């Protein structure tokens, strides 16, 4: 059975969206089995995206409720620009998430398509991201969009 498509309004994130985005980030952390790993404060998140020197940009997916004349953010995509010595500037997709109740309705695809357009509009040399090896639904989604997976690189970090 084909999933039902729901058109969302995809728009640039604003500082006013940050509290809802933080809720969705926490939902993502629970899904990824690491809710205690989210340590960023709302103030830092807002400043990093909308302060004097933004470090990230994003889009939100909004569903309108015409009856109540409201709209709800049901997903987001957050990115920044990274530099590759081999490829040049690339869009780095940090997170893309659609809240569980709205998954399977094409909203993630709308967000992904907007990121692809942003990559083109900014004249970047591609888009890169990571996906957990057990997140089969996301891996299928990325494969459907023509992504190549590279299992030869290991993630490294310092805290």
Contact 153, 86 (CB under 8 A): no
Q: What is the pLDDT of residues 123-133, one digit of tens each?
A: 999 999 999 99
Identify each DSSP E strand in the chain by its residue range.
9-12, 57-65, 70-84, 88-98, 127-129
Average pLDDT, the chain: 94
Average pLDDT on 88-97 reads 98
In this structure, is residue 19 part of a structural domain?
yes
User: For residue 67, what pLDDT is reported?
Assistant: 81
Q: Which domain holds residue 42?
A: 9-144
**Annotated active-site residue in 80, 83, 92, 142:** 142
Distances (CA, A) of 32 to 25, 64, 149: 10, 28, 19
In this structure, is residue 37 part of a structural domain?
yes
In this structure, is residue 27 part of a structural domain?
yes
Residue 2 has pLDDT above 50, yes or no: no
In this structure, is residue 100 part of a structural domain?
yes
Number of domains in the chain: 1
Residue 14 has pLDDT above 50, yes or no: yes
pLDDT band at 1 (very low <50, low <70, confident <90, very high): very low
In this structure, is residue 43 part of a structural domain?
yes
CATH no. for residue 63? 3.40.630.30
In this structure, is residue 154 part of a structural domain?
no
**Which residues is 20 bridged to in the sheet?**
none
Q: What is the pLDDT of residues 45-82, one digit of tens each?
A: 999 999 999 999 999 999 998 888 889 999 999 999 99
Residue 4 has pLDDT above 70, yes or no: no
- The yes-or-no answer on residue 92 being catalytic is no
């Amino acid at each position: 059975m084909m999933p039902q498509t729901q058109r969302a309004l995809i728009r640039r994130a604003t500082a006013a969206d940050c509290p809802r985005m933080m809720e969705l980030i926490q939902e993502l952390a629970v899904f990824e089995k690491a809710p205690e790993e989210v340590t960023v404060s709302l103030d830092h998140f807002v400043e990093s995206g909308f302060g004097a020197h933004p470090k990230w940009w994003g889009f939100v997916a909004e569903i309108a409720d015409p009856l109540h004349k409201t709209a709800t953010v049901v997903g987001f995509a957050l990115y920044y620009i990274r530099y590759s010595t081999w490829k040049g500037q690339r869009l780095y997709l940090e997170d893309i998430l659609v809240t569980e109740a709205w998954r399977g309705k094409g909203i993630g695809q709308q967000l992904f398509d907007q990121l692809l357009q942003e990559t083109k509009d900014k004249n970047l040399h591609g888009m890169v991201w990571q996906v957990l090896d057990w997140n089969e639904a996301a891996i299928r989604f990325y494969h459907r969009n023509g992504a190549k997976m590279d299992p030869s690189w290991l993630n490294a970090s310092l805290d």
